[in-house]
Amino acid sequence: MSILYDERPFHTRVKDVMDNQFKVKAIQKAQDVFYTKRKALVEQVPAWEEFRTEAAALRDHTLRNLDYYLNMFAENAEKAGAHVFFANSDKEATDYALEVLRQKEAKMIVKSKSLLTEEISLNEELIKAGINVNETDLAEFILQTDDWNPPSHIVVPALHLERSKIREVFHDKLGYEGTENPEEMTRFVRKFIRKRFLTANVGFTGCNFGVAETGSITIVSNEGNGRMSSSIPRTQIAVMGMERLVPDLASLDVMMELLVRSSVGAKISNYFSLITGPAKPGEADGPEDLHIIIVNNGRTNVLGGEFNSMLRCIHCGACMNICPVYRHITGHAYGSIYPGPMGAVLTPLLVGYEKAGALPYASTLCGECWEHCPVKIPIHELLLKHRENIAEHTNVRPAIEKPIFKTAATMFANSFLYDMGTKAAAVGMKAVAKDDAMPEWMKVLPVAGGWIKSKDMGTMKLHKFRDVYAKYEKNKKKGTF
Ligand code: SF4
């Protein structure tokens, strides 16, 4: 599974990001824009919290009855004329897609944005098989043209690239001679991609939600490329995660109410396609042949377990638009196609703690992600659960951590030890402090160094609030306060 595009140590990735302040500033600016837009729109929905509760319950209900709804979806999609294939692994999914391409003698495909196709490494497999692959979402197109530059956000994947860089890429790779004006560059890409839509044999799309009651798939998009990919080529292959189902159109309505507001701070998306089977006789557009690949790829290992609620995720990106850690380290520090808080939970589940054990620690556990998540995923609690599992069952963390936290736990649980310990620490800190702060040389120490590397840490005081309060209580009893 290649959801990790950067397997270097977490700290190395963070350092790389911090050295590129444009990237950090771009993310911070985008977070502020998303935050303001989302806040304004959410405030217009007085029943927002009720919607969130209903959506969480809906997702849980669907997950509890997933086998039932998957069968219903497949049956109805087939009745409408689609071919449905259940892929247990990424390989099964890509093999099936390649077989369809072989039967169609397809040499060129167009693709709209889909995280799942990245998860199953669809592009890599198609390219290996000699297929001409063309991303058509503007941001994905930019990343592909820039030699498959990795994405940094699930909704706005090319957020880290400045205009001048995009212009340079277009100039070098596509012979673009215009300015770095975004509209001019977009017009250029539009013309360029349009030819590809007209020549491609097959269009690949993702699927935001499958509707069990009708067997329909949905594509929510702000660019017309989703609709073009699904309606111009003669064959459409839609790839859908097995958890991305809603029971019926009424449930879809609830999810749509939340999805677009949460992801880009808009009431509706520019395009919303509901596709039920291939084009019927006499219909002007739509594919002649529609294949829906329903992908498991490890999801059943999560289903019903301690991380089950993560499967509620509707990939809106709201958690990364609010996360203070994502704000500073950006999507690239996570090294995964799933960045931010949702990625910190999901990536270790998909690739294991050995490879992604650092991610659950990339969080302040402030809970803002949960507050903003439209389906109320308790991300901070799941991150803690990961940390617990890592500490209990792996050797991923430095060996020194366990005795340190054991000692701290004993101390915090005992008032006398806490008092003595903090007093001893205050004396110790005072002895090494320089200008009432920890000295430079301490930054190289293991564990302690991490606390003071990027911020000034003042010394603990001998005289603490609890001393003042104890004195106050004593005097109150004596009636002298
Ligand atoms: S975890 Fe919640 S907020 Fe984050 S992407 Fe998924 S649904 Fe959106």
Q: Do the Cβ atoms of 145 and 173 come closer than 8 Å?
A: yes
Q: How many CB atoms lie within 10 A of CB 343?
A: 24
Question: Do 221 and 72 share a structural domain?
Answer: yes
Dist CA 469 CA 474 (whole Å): 9
The string of DSSP codes covering 302-345 is HTTSTTGGGGG-----HHHHH-HHHHHHTGGGG-BSS-HHHHHH
Final residue of a domain: which of 301, 331, 365?
Answer: 301
Q: Return the closest-CA partner of residue 149 out of 31, 5, 30, 19.
A: 5
Count of structural domains within the chain: 2
Dist CA 471 CA 246 (whole Å): 60
Q: Is 101's C-beta closer than 6 angstroms to any atom of ligand 1?
A: no
Is residue 395 one of the residues assigned to a domain?
no
- For the chain, 481 residues long, the average pLDDT of each consecutive 10-residue run is 85 92 88 92 92 97 98 98 97 98 97 94 96 96 94 88 92 96 95 93 97 97 92 96 98 94 90 95 90 96 97 96 95 95 96 95 96 97 97 90 89 91 90 85 80 80 86 86 63
The beta strand positions in 404-455, using DSSP E, are: none
Is residue 120 one of the residues assigned to a domain?
yes
Question: Do 283 and 420 share a structural domain?
Answer: no
Q: Angle, nearest 10°, between helix axes 138-145 and 163-174?
A: 60
Q: Is 260's C-beta closer than 6 angstroms to any atom of ligand 1?
A: no
List Cα–Cα distances, 316 to 61, 153, 277, in angstroms.
20, 10, 26
Single-letter amino acid code for the residue at 109: I
CA of 256 to the centre of ligand 1 (A): 14
CA of 245 to the centre of ligand 1 (A): 16
| pLDDT given for residue 1 in this prediction | 53
State which of 34, 375, 381 you would mutate to test the pocket of ligand 1, scoring each by most atoms of that ligand within 8 A of its C-beta: 375
Q: Is 314's C-beta closer than 6 angstroms to any atom of ligand 1?
A: yes
Question: Do 261 and 112 share a structural domain?
Answer: yes
Going by alpha carbons, the residue nearest to atom 3 of ligand 1 is: 373
Question: Do 441 and 294 share a structural domain?
Answer: no
CATH number of the domain residue 275 falls in: 3.40.50.10420
Final residue of a domain: which of 267, 284, 301?
Answer: 301
Going by alpha carbons, the residue nearest to atom 4 of ligand 1 is: 319
Question: Do 410 and 288 share a structural domain?
Answer: no
Is residue 322 one of the residues assigned to a domain?
no
CA of 265 to the centre of ligand 1 (A): 14
Going by alpha carbons, the residue nearest to atom 8 of ligand 1 is: 316
| pLDDT given for residue 225 in this prediction | 92
Is residue 381 one of the residues assigned to a domain?
no
Final residue of a domain: which of 301, 321, 351?
Answer: 301
Q: Is 375's C-beta closer than 6 angstroms to any atom of ligand 1?
A: yes
Single-letter amino acid code for the residue at 33: V
| Domain residue limits at 412 | 401-478
Contacts of 284 (CB under 8 A, 6+ apart): none
pTM to 2 decimals? 0.90
Torsion of the alpha carbons at 324, 377, 274 and 256, rounded to the nearest 10: -70
Point out the ligand 1 atom lying closest to the alpha carbon of residue 317: 5
Dist CA 161 CA 156 (whole Å): 11
Is residue 313 one of the residues assigned to a domain?
no
Is residue 371 one of the residues assigned to a domain?
no
Q: Do the Cβ atoms of 303 and 66 come closer than 8 Å?
A: yes
Q: Do the Cβ atoms of 332 and 410 come closer than 8 Å?
A: no
Dist CA 82 CA 240 (whole Å): 14
Q: Do the Cβ atoms of 5 and 336 come closer than 8 Å?
A: yes
State which of 314, 336, 349, 368 you would mutate to test the pocket of ligand 1, scoring each by most atoms of that ligand within 8 A of its C-beta: 314
CA of 324 to the centre of ligand 1 (A): 15
Q: Is 200's C-beta closer than 6 angstroms to any atom of ligand 1?
A: no
Backbone angles phi, psi at 190, to 5 degrees: -55, -50
Q: Is 346's C-beta closer than 6 angstroms to any atom of ligand 1?
A: no
Question: Do 413 and 278 share a structural domain?
Answer: no
Is residue 432 one of the residues assigned to a domain?
yes
Dist CA 10 CA 392 (whole Å): 21
Question: Do 278 and 408 share a structural domain?
Answer: no
Is residue 109 one of the residues assigned to a domain?
yes
Dist CA 83 CA 77 (whole Å): 7
Question: Do 195 and 58 share a structural domain?
Answer: yes
Burial group, residue 300, by CB count within 10 angstroms (0-12, 13-18, 19+): middle
